[in-house]
Structure 1
């Protein structure tokens, strides 16, 4: 029975480490604990949040929840490794009776002390393999802290790039450029810059998929609100006279198709055309804006 508890604990620790790896260092589309938590909180926030200020908390709260679940699962996993070997494989400081401090709660306490690197020493392992395993938990705790910081430092620049592109699209749509104005060298340059911006956002959605679950705030900085405009703009260039405009428009359409593919495969699952995917994107984020 003890070995089964140990295997369960080791499996929980390895599961979390795999999830951290795939979330931060090798993002994939295979789901995982972090995606499950963030998707669940995002969906729950749809009927609950009716105001912009409240809906804007969905992403940050989801990140905190993911980190908390990671830490809690690791703590429980290591406690399951310690528990079957208490009290015989541990030494206790004077004043603590081993028989009274060998419950699962005490194993959780030891795990929390180790993962937080406090090193209190009131209950310490004496068996050889446990003396090696306990410091490893401290290393994992430090890795989780580092992962949380790097995740935060990475995801917010990705959000800034997405919002900057949306703001530029907002500026462009509010100026109402005519077809003749777009059919110029300046129009080709604008289309090229938009294609580059869309490509950067596509990479951000692949590298930082969790950024999808962040509300963009004001409609002017919401890519979901303006993505259909850039699609219409790209379609208008098909009949342009200027060859550079036609080429830039084709590149922009290709970038938009790639973005639609990423959004659909990772988040929306519509299996529709790019226009349908972008409408679903706008609808999903529009509900969170209270629209």
Structure 2
């Protein structure tokens, strides 16, 4: 019987605001196996980031539930780590101190903290930068530190919300390859939200395509491309075939979102 790490079951989310209610997610369900790398794609405003926040325990679903190892998620926990698009580093802490931050909260002994931080500094390729402050780092280096900080707490699930979205194309490619290296070394379960179709295919075992808002799963596409992967796989016929299919699905939903906005006389809402 296939093991399940995460089970998202009929999750709906409605946000109430001064201008009324917005249904972000509608009856969204899927299951994630241990060690699986899931990428999530969809038009702007379809609820991609909302899914991550519900799994993280930062947002409560309006209905439905999320189970991790069969237990209902009712709030944040150290078993789930989150990496955002913004680097969210503490500017007054060094690289090593940023990585150790969560370990401080957990009361980890000093030597173990230091050893853990250095282990992840080596894994992300930043050995020698442990005493630098974030202001002296490039965008890619800052995001490496953010990933290391999340991993240092040894979460079972890593949630990544467009972590490379603010990077230039060349740095983004380097970070994609680095993330695969880290994933292959740690075998963490990863949920990764992105707007980049090639990124979703390159990284993922499975791609979850979402509908326009209110978001739900439109289709699941399996990425049957052997691992380990290098940048060259983006030229393979099977990669290009998946890319064509994904773009077609996203385009269908983007057109629907635009049509709904035209009917209601509203702008297309950017967001997740």
TM-score of the aligned structures, taking structure 2 as reference length: 0.30
Larger Rg: 1
The higher relative CO (CA closer than 8 Å, separation ≥ 6) is in 2
TM-score of the aligned structures, taking structure 1 as reference length: 0.28
Instruction: Give 1 or 2: higher strand fraction.
Output: 2
